[in-house]
């Protein structure tokens, strides 16, 4: 992982701390653990419950970019403390790119981010980690568009299971519950004629690209 420098912007700490005095119970978060891995937490309580000591999570980031820390309460319980500042977005972008390159099976959703602003990038990161972690997303199901059928499943894991059952999974288009389309690319290692460590890499397709497949729903006929 990249060396952790410039976690917060010191000049913005006072302002960020004031803005962060909100009801944490109604918020969701991105986390970066002490191994450098990114995760999604649906609530402050989830962050507190998933860790055993303050240093186990290095960064807890809300949707506005405020960067919190876990601390011990007076009774010794882990709680989410005030945000001393904002996360450094340059570091976040570089760390995410490196993490996806080094751990593609763990972070298989690749969104288009080359022209994204910091606000858009952070929103994308929340989306991708929430979706890849199979957390419920308002808006419903995943769509696997293949051979004229629109097959609907509940999670990315289910979509991958379905695609591995197909002769040519790379011919499908996968649409997430938020409306983003991806081209699936099966991956794995060939050892003595067998494929091991199988996973699917999902690369977002740009808007306006000509459709390759019909998308009728199974059972609609025609």
Per-chain mean pLDDT for the chain? 82
pLDDT > 70 in the chain, percent: 78
In degrees and rounded to multiples of 5, residue 118 shows phi and psi of -60, -40
What pLDDT sits at residue 31? 95
In 103-166, where does DSSP find H-type helix?
A: 118-132, 156-164
Domain range list for the chain: 10-88, 104-217
User: Rounded CA gap, 134 and 151, in Å?
Assistant: 18
Average pLDDT over residues 102-125: 94
In degrees and rounded to multiples of 5, residue 73 shows phi and psi of -80, 175
In the chain, where does DSSP find H-type helix?
A: 13-19, 44-49, 89-102, 118-132, 156-164
What pLDDT sits at residue 14? 44
User: Rounded CA gap, 8 and 14, in Å?
Assistant: 11
Residue in this structure with the two tokens 């609530």, named with its chain if needed: 43
Q: List beta partners, residue 200.
A: 186
**How confident is residue 119, by pLDDT bands cut at 50, 70 and 90?**
very high
Considering only residues 217 and 92, tell me which one the structure prediction assigns the higher pLDDT: 92
What pLDDT sits at residue 8? 54
Query: Quick check: 139 pLDDT over 90?
Result: no
pTM for this prediction: 0.80
Q: What are the pLDDT digits (tens) for 63-105?
A: 999 999 898 988 888 888 888 899 999 999 999 999 999 999 9
Task: Provide the token pair at 126.
Answer: 């929340």
Q: Is 69 exposed, middle or buried (0-12, 13-18, 19+ CB in 10 A)?
A: middle
Q: What are the pLDDT digits (tens) for 157-214?
A: 999 999 999 999 999 999 999 999 999 999 875 444 444 578 999 999 986 554 444 3
Query: Quick check: 216 pLDDT over 80?
Result: no
Handedness of CA 72, 77, 82, 84 (dihedral sign): positive
What lies within 8 Å, CB to CB, of 168 at 6+ separation is: none
User: Rounded CA gap, 182 and 26, in Å?
Assistant: 31
What pLDDT sits at residue 205? 95
Angle of helix 118-132 relative to helix 89-102, nearest 10 degrees? 40
Structural element, H or E, at residue 29: strand 29-33
């Amino acid at each position: 992982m990249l060396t952790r420098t410039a976690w917060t912007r010191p000049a913005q700490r006072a302002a960020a701390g004031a803005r962060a005095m909100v009801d944490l119970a109604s918020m969701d978060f991105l986390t970066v653990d002490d191994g450098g891995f990114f995760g999604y937490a649906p609530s402050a309580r989830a962050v507190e419950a998933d860790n055993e000591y303050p240093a186990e999570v290095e960064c807890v980031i809300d949707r506005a970019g405020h960067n919190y820390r876990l601390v011990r309460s007076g009774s010794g319980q882990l709680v989410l403390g005030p945000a001393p500042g904002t996360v450094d977005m340059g570091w976040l972008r570089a760390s995410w790119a490196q993490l996806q390159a080094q751990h593609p099976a763990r972070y298989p959703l690749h969104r288009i981010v080359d022209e994204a602003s910091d606000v858009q990038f952070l929103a994308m990161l929340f989306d991708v980690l929430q979706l890849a972690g199979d957390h419920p997303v308002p808006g419903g199901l995943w769509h696997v568009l293949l051979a004229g059928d629109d097959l609907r499943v509940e999670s990315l894991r289910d979509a991958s299971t379905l695609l591995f059952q197909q002769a040519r999974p790379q011919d499908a288009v996968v649409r997430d519950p938020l409306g983003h389309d991806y081209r699936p690319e099966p991956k794995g290692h060939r050892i003595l004629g067998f494929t091991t460590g199988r996973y699917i890499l999902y690369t977002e397709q740009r808007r306006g690209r000509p459709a390759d497949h019909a998308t009728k729903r199974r059972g609609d006929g025609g």
